[in-house]
């Protein structure tokens, strides 16, 4: 067990979801960001994710990847949490 309380890389196996709480004032920019981050997501689906908040926009990411999604979406004015 390490000083952080984790046992032999336990954190490495954990996955995270990115939840969009609000698109803020720049909904169109958030929709564009969702489409650029997601392979194959359509305009209609991206619009629904940005409009029907809170919504889980991506599942089962590493901590590093989830932080990347959060950073891009927040740059566009969205409120995002990682769970």
Q: pLDDT tens for residues 18-59?
A: 999 999 999 999 999 999 998 889 999 999 999 999 999 999
Coil vs helix vs strand at 70: helix
The structure tokens 């960001």 sit at 33
Higher pLDDT, 8 or 30: 30
Confidence of residue 9 (pLDDT cuts 50, 70, 90): low
* Contact indicator for 45, 35 with CB cutoff of 8 Å: no
The CA R_g of the chain, rounded to the nearest whole Å, is 14
Joined together, the tokens standing for residue 35 give: 């489409």
């Amino acid at each position: 067990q390490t000083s952080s309380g984790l046992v032999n890389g336990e954190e490495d196996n954990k996955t995270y979801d990115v939840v969009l709480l609000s698109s803020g004032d720049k909904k169109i920019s958030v929709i564009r960001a969702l489409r650029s981050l997601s392979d194959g997501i359509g305009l209609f689906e991206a619009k629904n994710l940005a409009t029907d908040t809170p919504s889980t926009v991506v599942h089962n990411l590493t901590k590093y990847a989830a932080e990347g999604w959060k950073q891009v979406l927040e740059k566009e004015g969205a409120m995002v949490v990682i769970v």
